[in-house]
Amino acid sequence: MGWWLLARAGDVPLGEGRAFEVAGRTIALFHIAGQWHAIEDQCPHMGASLAAGYLEGCVVACPWHAWRFDLRDGSWCDNPRVKIDAFQLKVEGDQIWVELPGEPPGD
């Protein structure tokens, strides 16, 4: 596992999400109430971008069919046994780092 630079704090306005490509994955990063959350960007139902979804607290609803996911652990709110990937983050200054398999280039 390694830490990859995902985004800068100014890239995601408070109360919104954005998608970022890193290490061959698309990750949805959300800025909620001063905290950061990252999940897999693709809804498992039909592939919509969750970064474009509707936020209510720590839950994002898919913009296509309203499947709801908890940003804290990636669980589907209607059946918590079903999950998408949720990622560990760390913030250093204005940089937001995500922990992913493999080693970032230059390490």
Q: What is the pLDDT of residues 23-68, one digit of tens each?
A: 999 999 999 988 999 999 999 999 999 999 999 999 999 999 999 9
3-state secondary structure of 52: helix
Q: How far is CA 52 from CA 2, 96, 103, in A?
A: 27, 19, 29
CB contact at 8 A, 4 and 13:
no
Is 36 domain-assigned? yes
Is 105 domain-assigned? no
CATH code, 49: 2.102.10.10
Domain count, the chain: 1
Give me the percent of the chain exceeding a pLDDT of 90.
90
Residues 6 or more apart in contact with residue 11 via CB below 8 angstroms: 18, 20, 29
Query: Position of tokens 């046994």?
Result: 81
- Please, which pLDDT band fits residue 101 given cuts at 50, 70 and 90? confident
Cross-strand partners of 69: 60, 76
- Please, which pLDDT band fits residue 106 given cuts at 50, 70 and 90? low
Is 106 domain-assigned? no
**Residue-range definition of the domain harbouring residue 82:** 2-100
Is 107 domain-assigned? no
For residue 107, the model assigns a pLDDT of 52
Q: What is the pTM of this model?
A: 0.93
Residues 6 or more apart in contact with residue 83 via CB below 8 angstroms: 73, 74, 75, 76
For residue 15, the model assigns a pLDDT of 96
For residue 22, the model assigns a pLDDT of 96
Is 71 domain-assigned? yes
Is 23 domain-assigned? yes
